[in-house]
Structure 1
């Protein structure tokens, strides 16, 4: 990696050190959302998975660490983040079964159609909340050009018939998420992520099947924190021990 890029990025670890992650020192930085997203993708050996809007590759790296016989492709429109994502593939020894495509998720994706798609799209529509002054962080948090319906359509185009989509989003947009998936998807599972027992969910994992027809399911979800503030044993198993989340 060029010296200037080294100064602009820091190296962090995910899954209790199983994943090495270079990410910008300033702007958007991955937290637990991509780890939870990857844990919710039940990829089988030999399957090909696309990560739409992959950023520096946190989710696809976590998935690859848990599922060593799965191939992953990340799509990222920001050149700087795409470059870091490629560096991260090398850091984690994934050059042979992973690739990063620089471009918009709305464009045709090399390697499509995929068995599975995962994505962590921007959480806010334009005009809601205060956008970051950092352009990369603002682009990661606020929809720009593609709304939720656009992201869902991009996922459908990237999937094989009967393929599966897994996404993470804000729980308070559940009605918009379901509406966006109504065209092209079915067999939804909604999996709330509770900050603590008895508190409203802030995040939501959603799984949907292209062309699925089964009724929607509201799962029990996962409580992230104990009353005292630490992670629950179930959350620790996912975030540190690379345990899967069964939606």
Structure 2
């Protein structure tokens, strides 16, 4: 792909059963289950706008565009290599005219004034505030906050939302309390908590947190989703990951 060095550009993968083609970085974390699950939390009208904060190569917003007719994406990414890759992936899928990638740091207050109001806002933020940082810089940026905390990410999502919009983040289950606190600090509440269990009977490995402009509304723990059974995915997980299941049902589960 143009604009990427051979060391930066990696293989092309398929998401949503081939509906999305995604060129991944040669090094670092690869977009996969988290990106598809996060995109499945987005419920908005056809033609709506989704903000993807820390978009990486674009896996989340591309899955949203594949699922919602005419949807548009505004994506924020501070790494210029990943920002270029996100633009290339938008073009690879034929959606370059529906995507704007902004190179900026989410903690920059001036960024909030630049962004349009979004019908939905999503982020898969760096989730560990410290500890042992991976040696590959692009991987470290995806997993370790590096001075930009969850509150910064939540603040950008909250500031971007149009009336009636919802913001969703995906985190390790161990950061559930921090995530809810960050959303509340951004004026968001009524948080719906969707646990993702590796297998039936296991502790949740990931949680999706979706909130709205209702900071005093209580949180709700949803039924959640079991991901694996036997050697493969559960039918419910398969429906989301390959079938493109849309949104969260009234009962709280990701559903077609």
Same fold (TM over 0.5): yes
User: 2:129 aligns to what?
Assistant: 125
User: 2:245 aligns to what?
Assistant: 243
Q: CA deviation at 1:54?
A: 0.2
User: 1:233 aligns to what?
Assistant: 235
1:216 aligns with 2:222: no
User: 1:71 aligns to what?
Assistant: 72
Q: CA deviation at 1:17?
A: 0.8
- Map 1:46-125 onto structure 2 (within 5 A): 46-107=47-108, 108-109=111-112, 110-125=114-129
Q: CA deviation at 1:232?
A: 0.2
| Cα pair 1:112 1:158 within 8 Å, conserved | yes
**What SS class does the counterpart of residue 73 from structure 1 fall into?**
strand
Q: CA deviation at 1:205?
A: 0.5
Structure 2 CA distance for aligned equivalents of residues 162 and 4 of structure 1: 38
Structure 1 CA distance for aligned equivalents of residues 50 and 94 of structure 2: 17
Q: Give CA deviations for 1:144-195 in whole Å, capped at 9, x if unaligned.
A: 1211112111211222244210111111111111111222011110000010
**What SS class does the counterpart of residue 195 from structure 2 fall into?**
strand
Structure 1 CA distance for aligned equivalents of residues 83 and 56 of structure 2: 7
Q: Give CA deviations for 1:187-224 in whole Å, capped at 9, x if unaligned.
A: 11000001000100010001000235432110000000
Unaligned runs of 5+ in 2: none
How many residues align? The count is 244
User: 1:2 aligns to what?
Assistant: 2
Q: CA deviation at 1:116?
A: 1.3
Unaligned runs of 5+ in 1: none
User: 1:159 aligns to what?
Assistant: 161
Root-mean-square deviation (Å): 1.6
User: 2:146 aligns to what?
Assistant: 144
Structure 2 CA distance for aligned equivalents of residues 164 and 148 of structure 1: 17
Structure 2 CA distance for aligned equivalents of residues 235 and 4 of structure 1: 33
**What SS class does the counterpart of residue 232 from structure 2 fall into?**
coil
What TM-score results when the alignment is normalised by the length of structure 2? Answer: 0.90
Q: Give CA deviations for 1:97-138 in whole Å, capped at 9, x if unaligned.
A: 1111111122315442212100000121112xx321000100
| Cα pair 2:32 2:59 within 8 Å, conserved | no
What TM-score results when the alignment is normalised by the length of structure 1? Answer: 0.93
Structure 2 CA distance for aligned equivalents of residues 144 and 161 of structure 1: 31
Structure 2 CA distance for aligned equivalents of residues 40 and 114 of structure 1: 14
Runs of 4+ in 1 over 4 A off after TM superposition: none
Structure 2 CA distance for aligned equivalents of residues 164 and 33 of structure 1: 18
Q: Give CA deviations for 1:57-83 in whole Å, capped at 9, x if unaligned.
A: 000001100112211111100000000
